[in-house]
Structure 1
Amino acid sequence: MASLRSALVLATVSAAALVAATSANASSFSLRSGQSAQGLGLSFAGGASGGIGLGSMAWNPAAITLFPGRNSQFNATYILPQAEYDVTDPVTLGTARLLGLPAGTGNIGGNGAFVPASYTNFQVGDLYLGWTTGAPYGLSSKPETQNSLATFYNRSASIRTLNFSPTIGWRVNDMLSLGAAVQFQYIDIGLKRALTPIPTTIASVPSTSLEGDDFALGFRVGAVLTPWEGATFGISYRSTIEHDLSGTLTAGVGPTAGIPIPVSARLQLPDSITVGYSQVLNDRWTVHLGGEWTNWSVFDNIPIRLANGTVQNFLNFEYDDSVYLSAGAEYKWNDRLTLRAGVAYEWSAVSDRVRTVIISDNDRLWLSAGVGYQFTEQLRFDASYAHLFVEEAPVTLTAASNNPSFQQLQYVASAEPSVDIFSVSLTYRWDRPQAASAVPGGVYKP
């Protein structure tokens, strides 16, 4: 009971800290890297098949059955995105010069953010119980140059989430395990941009701002197969979560200037399918593969409604679906030290047509590396680093561009984004490890 109480306290602390998660690093404003330091070192290859340690629970709830006994893991990830929009259009440059304003944004990524996550499981025979805490979505975007022309499309933007998921897994037999989780998710958003017409100084330009939050439910289901010695296959489904945001819209001009107006909006976050394969080759080498499809096309045009039901405005995104493929390998240097590396490629949900200065997302290449060290049979430390090479991200906001976010002011620019990610974790087994894995042929390592 003492170990159970300790695990509950530590998981609660981790969950409370998640409201600080504010930097996106996966497609759109998804936060992939907050889930596991072990996973980051492998570019999350094998996430659905248990290959990234206890953090696999966040990818596939059935992976909870791959870790016998009572275990907890605590992760801290620092994400540092870098992107700066430089104007590439003579009309935009001319407008900026005419108004005496800077044209570029400066860095929109800020100082980065810490993203904590935690995982705990308890084995009761063939039944496994536990929970995960994480921040599956997050964004913080604020142009460093706050008096630039770009503030008419983005003065600041933030999305924060907190997800707590009770999880259950059942080991049906030596080959098959099933799992399910309920997602309790809180979201808070804030968007602000400057308004036209433009007065003499940008500092006196009023802003319009939208704020809202909501609590909603979703689910995850999954299965793990161990068909032959050393192999683990995993597949999981994460449901869409519909947030009915309630908040306020504050206009900068007109009779209601500065007065918060109650509004509502339905925000549908995407569902996804994840697959993974992990194979133990020998007593030194293990290889992992992973794939993920995310239904970002449901994130389309979002009406902002007043209390009487009339539509005041729209948030226009019109995203595409995204695909993520990864591969990784682990080398067991000795009984204590493990080395790992991974590579991945992600096709972004944000196309050139719909991109705005809020986010500099585009297709990206992941390269990662990490180490794990087993201090004792119960305590493990992992650390990883990844660099994301993001393709050039152009923004074309013109009358002819068909960009749904165009708002009368022409703005054409381009950014060369990159993301650096650092992650560490501690994994502790509360009971004494047994000599054999709970799943014959599985990838569990004490």
Structure 2
Amino acid sequence: MKTTWLKTALALAVGAMSSQTMAAGFALNEQSISGMGTSYAGRSSSADDATTLFGNPAGMSRLTREEVSFGAAAIKANTDIKDASGSFNAGPLNGPTSGSNDGDMVPATAVPMGYYVNPIDDKWALGVGVYVPFGLATDYESGFQGRYFGDYSEVAVITVQPTISYRFNDKLSVGFGPTLNRITGELQSASPSIAGDGRVKVKGDDTAVGFNAGVLYEFTPHTRMGVTYHSKVEYTLEGDTKITGAGFGAANGSKYDASLDLTTPESVDVSLTHELNDRWTLYAGAMWTRWSRFEAIIIENEGVPGPLKGSLAPIVEEQDWHDTWSYALGAAFKLNQQWTLRTGLAFDQSPTNNTHRSPRIPSGDRTAVSFGLAWDPTEDVTVDLAYSYLWEEDTKINRSRSYQNGALVQNYNATYENSAHGFGASLSYRF
């Protein structure tokens, strides 16, 4: 039991890296509702509204009027868990692990966004955006069979990005914006003992700086290509780890200072927009994300009393994520001056691997289809609506853990079937 709570906290931290969000790993795509309608196929080249501040800051140079855009996306994920089993293969708890596997552990989640862009002249534009680039929320039922590998996670990154763009000529524009990023998280898990389950709760937060930069090149008035670089951001989450339950003995109710280093990965987004005619616009895009930065989790704990120091040294658990690519194709059709229809198809690789995937990282490669609608009741106002549906390949979990003294080997195996619905709405107003 001396090592149980820290190892469980470690599994929780690993769990913070994934959920059924609308992008791979623990990234979120929901920074633009107009982009959502085309599965983000033209994210770095479309520059249709103020949300280009995130998609490609160079695209602000295409906006001719002062503009504000705000909205939100709602994500509803569904998970079926099949063929589940769990056990302790040694020690006093030897035998099957009891518990349920209800699935649907991701609560409905809202992702807000807001942008403001002001073209200063025909060369310069300034703007600021607030959005959520990474996040998750998972909450398994009480008594989940895989609870010892983590049963609750809530992590979010909120970003503020002041941005500037410059247009060199009719073809070339550039943009740059530093990002101020705030990360918060709460992670929980059960801890086994013959006296009954205990509970481990880890909380932490940090603020760190990164940047986004982009280039937009217009080959012709109807064809343009964009490249956007989103930098890595390095965090050191500081908070505390609290343990409760009779199995912790005299340490029941104790709280210890904790820290966790985490780097959100850099990415490169490349896309092409082509206005086929007055009605049809086509989009294509690809994005590379350096998830291989996530090799392992290390948790540091301070203020641990003497009897527990030997078992609470830093623990490293391999994750070995790999870099990923995502691809998307999209189209928009302008019905008339007021109505535009959009659609898109995307494929997103999962960064996880079969060796280290856990119940808190149950994602696999995914496919998404999207539909969007834009309504322009006046020249000053645009309302965007979008819907996305994604589904993943069946993902197998084969997770085990051996405690340091060798007294206990813990297992959880299951097959996850994941899907998610995304709904978005936004309003853009031009002054």
- TM bin, normalised by shorter chain, reads 0.7 to 0.9
Cα displacement string for residues 313-372 of structure 1 (whole angstroms, at most 9, x for unaligned residues): 346532111211001000111111101110010111122222211243110111111111
Q: What is the identity percentage for the equivalent residue pairs of Structure 1 and Structure 2?
A: 27
What is the aligned counterpart of 1:364 among 354, 363, 366? 366
8 A contact 1:24–1:137 mirrored in 2: no
Structure 2 CA distance for aligned equivalents of residues 52 and 96 of structure 1: 60
Please name the residue that 1:31 is paired with.
28
Please name the residue that 1:333 is paired with.
335
Partner-residue secondary structure (3-state), 2:58? helix
Tell me, yes or no, if structure 1 residue 427 matches structure 2 residue 425: no
8 A contact 2:72–2:424 mirrored in 1: yes
Please name the residue that 1:130 is paired with.
127
Please name the residue that 2:272 is paired with.
277
Q: Cα distance, 1:103 vs. partner?
A: 4.2
Cα RMSD of the aligned pairs, angstroms, is 2.4
Cα displacement string for residues 213-234 of structure 1 (whole angstroms, at most 9, x for unaligned residues): 0000000111000021301110
**Amino acid in the other structure paired with 2:427:** L
Bigger shift: residues 316-325 or 186-195:
316-325
Structure 2 CA distance for aligned equivalents of residues 231 and 381 of structure 1: 25
Tell me, yes or no, if structure 1 residue 210 matches structure 2 residue 206: no
Cα displacement string for residues 123-165 of structure 1 (whole angstroms, at most 9, x for unaligned residues): 1111100011111111111113x11321111121111111010
Structure 1 CA distance for aligned equivalents of residues 276 and 33 of structure 2: 23
Partner-residue secondary structure (3-state), 1:84? strand
8 A contact 1:220–1:237 mirrored in 2: yes
Please name the residue that 1:266 is paired with.
261
Partner-residue secondary structure (3-state), 1:416? strand
Please name the residue that 1:313 is paired with.
315
Tell me, yes or no, if structure 1 residue 243 matches structure 2 residue 235: yes
Partner-residue secondary structure (3-state), 2:227? strand
Structure 1 CA distance for aligned equivalents of residues 181 and 86 of structure 2: 45
What is the aligned counterpart of 2:294 among 276, 286, 299? 299
8 A contact 1:23–1:31 mirrored in 2: no
Structure 2 CA distance for aligned equivalents of residues 23 and 418 of structure 1: 7
8 A contact 2:93–2:194 mirrored in 1: no
Partner-residue secondary structure (3-state), 1:54? coil
Please name the residue that 2:78 is paired with.
82
8 A contact 2:130–2:161 mirrored in 1: yes
Bigger shift: residues 347-356 or 314-323:
314-323
Please name the residue that 1:118 is paired with.
114
Cα displacement string for residues 86-120 of structure 1 (whole angstroms, at most 9, x for unaligned residues): 33458689x9996683342432112x111110111
8 A contact 1:51–1:278 mirrored in 2: no
Please name the residue that 1:17 is paired with.
none
Cα displacement string for residues 3-46 of structure 1 (whole angstroms, at most 9, x for unaligned residues): xxxxxxxxxxxxxxxxxxx97221111111x2111111100011
Please name the residue that 1:141 is paired with.
138
Task: Give the structure with the higher percent strand.
Answer: 2
**Amino acid in the other structure paired with 1:182:** P
**Amino acid in the other structure paired with 1:416:** E
Unaligned 5+ runs, structure 1: 1-21, 401-406, 431-446
Partner-residue secondary structure (3-state), 1:277? strand
TM-score normalized by structure 1? 0.83
Tell me, yes or no, if structure 1 residue 222 matches structure 2 residue 214: yes
Please name the residue that 1:354 is paired with.
356
Bigger shift: residues 159-168 or 355-364:
355-364
Please name the residue that 2:67 is paired with.
71
Structure 1 CA distance for aligned equivalents of residues 65 and 409 of structure 2: 61
**Amino acid in the other structure paired with 1:117:** M
Cα displacement string for residues 363-412 of structure 1 (whole angstroms, at most 9, x for unaligned residues): 01111111111010000111010100111111101369xxxxxx831111
8 A contact 2:144–2:151 mirrored in 1: no
8 A contact 2:20–2:363 mirrored in 1: no
Bigger shift: residues 384-393 or 301-310:
301-310
What is the aligned counterpart of 1:343 among 336, 342, 345? 345
